[in-house]
Structure 1
């Protein structure tokens, strides 16, 4: 096969439909858009418009609010930490913080901090420095001989 023999599969490419080229073309005058009005023009923006009837998004009541100071934590389970230790990405006995978890590939980004959850088992002795942890996670880490420093509790105690 030579470069000049290369072709697209039959029917893979379509020629562009030329609009508004006279009545004989079959797509002249209104160019396949129907008749007159807003929809015949370019830049139509009528999403949610219900013909003058009160639209659904205005008929329904507003509920709740968005807390602008809410924190978004990156959750990491004990099982994920143990898997990283087993794979040799985290060292047992070392201090593990958000930067170490990112470097090890356990998490992609820290967001507002890392929160450790107690799902799974932990056998490695880890010293964790995180933004938050569940009670079960703290118990399991201390049971494995590790330690945990939670920045969240220190901030709320002041």
Structure 2
């Protein structure tokens, strides 16, 4: 043990200052090596392990997002009081499940449940998929009723099920003389017609009318 080897109890090791000359030990390259991707700045591939299968892919998969998941919409008795204050519904009103979904702006195929919030001001009867015990007592105290119905999911409409509209037929002009539409002649048919006309004209030129022998002048011997 020497005097120069004593250290303070609360003394912390200072951070090594890099890139401060070759004699410092971490001078020229600053502990990053010569070249390569990791010696440059701005390079950090999260989860990369040099080409081997990374940890987040080695771990087993867990769970999934179900397409047929039931969406819950929780409503309180305050919602009924707000509708009464805004005069959207009146006293002793009866709300079915579709009306509640429209008023609460719930998504399609949502499971509606009522909870107790504040005391009801007036009697209202509702339909719901589930109701808490305290909310049920509050509806009965106010003079209303709660009809609990079974949750049924509406099937989604596929694009194949939608009937395609028939194509509209082209209307003919309302002229008095309606011309029948004839199919257009093709290029080969046009060429054949031209060739037939040329052949017929040539044959007509070759035909010469026979001259009567009587009209011919007799040669004198």
Matched, 1:111 2:113: no
* Contact 1:82 1:123 (8 Å CA) reproduced: yes
The alignment of Structure 1 onto Structure 2 pairs a total of residues equal to: 109
Distance change (3 Å), C-alpha of 1:110 and 1:69: closer
**CA separation in 1, counterparts of 2:108 and 2:126?**
14
Per-residue deviation, 1:100: 1.9
Q: TM-score, normalised by structure 1?
A: 0.54
**CA separation in 1, counterparts of 2:126 and 2:105?**
15
**CA separation in 2, counterparts of 1:47 and 1:80?**
47
Counterpart mapping for 1:126-145 below 5 A: 126-145=124-143
**CA separation in 2, counterparts of 1:138 and 1:127?**
11
1:73 matched residue in structure 2: 72
Q: Tell me the SS of whatever aligns to 2:126.
A: strand
Per-residue deviation, 1:101: 2.7
What's the RMSD between the two structures over aligned residues? 3.1
Query: Whose relative contact order is higher, 1 or 2, with alpha carbons under 8 Å and at least 6 apart?
Result: 1
Unaligned runs of 5+ in 1: 1-34, 37-45, 154-158
Distance change (3 Å), C-alpha of 1:59 and 1:65: same
Distance change (3 Å), C-alpha of 1:67 and 1:90: same
Unaligned runs of 5+ in 2: 1-35, 38-44, 152-221
Q: TM-score, normalised by structure 2?
A: 0.40
Which one is further off, 59-68 or 128-137? Answer: 59-68
